[in-house]
Structure 1
């Protein structure tokens, strides 16, 4: 349970999300329309991959899915940081989307399973509320 709590802290510690749009417009010279198109592509990618990544998670297991999603998220962050073109920035968004689709739902299911093993499932709502 302790490792899951640490993972959640690092997962949601990407406070840069709040300023990405400003950064992309002010520092990278992208238009607001381009940034919004990237965001839309991210959402479409995440939503379209929810079921396929859920199937993979069911076959591989939740821990592996969380690790893979986290690695993809990190890779997307690195591509974002080192990209010199809008195409690479879009690639970063899509890699993030793939990583997020592996994590989405898997994290809460893993939390519930962990609480179930400790026989404290009645605390699920409390943990879920705190961690999100």
Structure 2
């Protein structure tokens, strides 16, 4: 009987350890085949994008029903956590949002109200940074800059 309790206790601790490991595993950002709509929401349609070198893409999305823009920076190949960032700003209003950290697949979502405004946005993966200024401004030409540090 004592042996059985020991075995049960060991099994219970093993199950707890597996559960804790699963709970502490990579967050939802580790999901393969991530899309901007999975990050921002299904109502957000992609309106612009910019490559982050060969490592991934920053996506600008828009939800016509609420007038909000959302950005997400998504790696081409999820893997070990690396520095990933995404940011968005409405120069006219000063509203901005960002997300940055060590992620396995993507950074975001970051939302701002942008209906009727030009949008500045961008992101980074590891040491490659992308900035798009004056985006989605009708006839105005946007400015894109990609740098490696």
TM above 0.5: no
Give the structure with the larger strand fraction: 2
Give the structure, 1 or 2, with the largest relative contact order (CA under 8 Å, sep 6 or more). 1
TM-score, normalised on structure 1?
0.28
Give the structure with the larger helix fraction: 1
Bigger-Rg structure (1/2): 2
TM-score, normalised on structure 2?
0.26
